[in-house]
């Protein structure tokens, strides 16, 4: 299985070189408008909360100004075009890679990145990890040709007979879990919404269970989560 080096390193190097190359221009100003949150009696001030409102015309104008400034600096570099070509070559390489591998009896599950597809696939292969024998279980690119549907996470049951997959649309960070009996080609009629950032567990009968979790507060870097367990064992499956 091939593993590509992240291309972000090249972009960071390009950006760093740009800003030490003697450019005299300064970035567009960013006003500070303090907004205070209270967490367990502790005041946390965020001077840039106003930038989170994308519907605000001022935020859009600020973003355009920042993009124009950045583009003017990057495009002025003599090596910019060479870096751009290399990033495009690496990003469109046909060499696949597999991540998030999970082993179950007789099966190996994985997320497969297959350029030039926009989204990774959920695949399963024999325990011998032979990519030539892999089978695609979920392909978000076929479910959504626009490329806006993504796999948040997946979790196979302990015996590997069932798998639950969380899908999010449009970056809404609120996935819906879809269980399926992949060996028989059956899928659950019911989807479980709001599962992004969820913790996964397994029911004692071998069926996956999903716990929806949401961060309610953060103190000293520790997330406080509230969990609601959802049993998938009651699903009605169709083939």
pLDDT(72) > 70: yes
Q: Cα–Cα distances in Å, from 128 out to 131, 132, 185?
A: 9, 11, 22
pLDDT tens track for 164-222? 888 888 876 667 777 776 665 555 445 556 554 443 433 334 544 444 433 333 332 23
| Type and span of the H or E element at 72 | helix 57-75
Contact in structure between 196 and 211 (CB atoms under 8 Å)? no
CB 103 within 8 A of CB 127: yes
User: Which pTM was predicted?
Assistant: 0.50
Q: What is the mean pLDDT of the chain?
A: 73
The whole-angstrom separation of Cα 144 and Cα 116 is 15
């Amino acid at each position: 299985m091939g593993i590509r080096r992240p291309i972000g390193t090249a972009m960071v190097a390009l950006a760093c070189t740009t800003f030490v190359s003697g450019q005299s221009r300064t970035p567009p100003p960013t006003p500070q408008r303090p907004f205070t949150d209270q967490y367990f009696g502790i005041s946390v001030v965020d001077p840039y909360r106003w930038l989170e409102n994308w519907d605000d015309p001022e935020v859009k104008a600020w973003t355009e100004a920042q993009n124009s400034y950045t583009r003017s600096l990057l495009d002025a570099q003599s090596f910019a075009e060479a870096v751009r070509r290399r990033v495009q070559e690496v990003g469109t390489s046909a060499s696949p890679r597999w991540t998030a591998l999970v082993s179950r009896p007789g099966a190996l599950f994985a997320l497969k990145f297959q350029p030039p597809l926009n989204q990774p696939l959920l695949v399963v292969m024999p325990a011998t990890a032979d990519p030539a024998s892999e089978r695609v279980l979920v392909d978000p690119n076929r479910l959504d040709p626009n490329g806006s549907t993504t796999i948040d996470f997946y979790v196979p049951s302990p015996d590997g007979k069932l798998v639950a997959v969380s899908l999010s649309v449009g970056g809404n960070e609120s996935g819906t879990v879809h269980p399926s009996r992949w060996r028989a080609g059956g899928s659950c009629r019911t989807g479980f919404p709001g599962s992004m950032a969820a913790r996964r567990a397994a029911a004692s009968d071998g069926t996956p269970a999903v716990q929806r979790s949401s961060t309610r507060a953060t103190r000293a870097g520790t997330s406080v989560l509230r969990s609601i367990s959802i049993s998938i064992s009651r699903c009605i499956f169709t083939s």
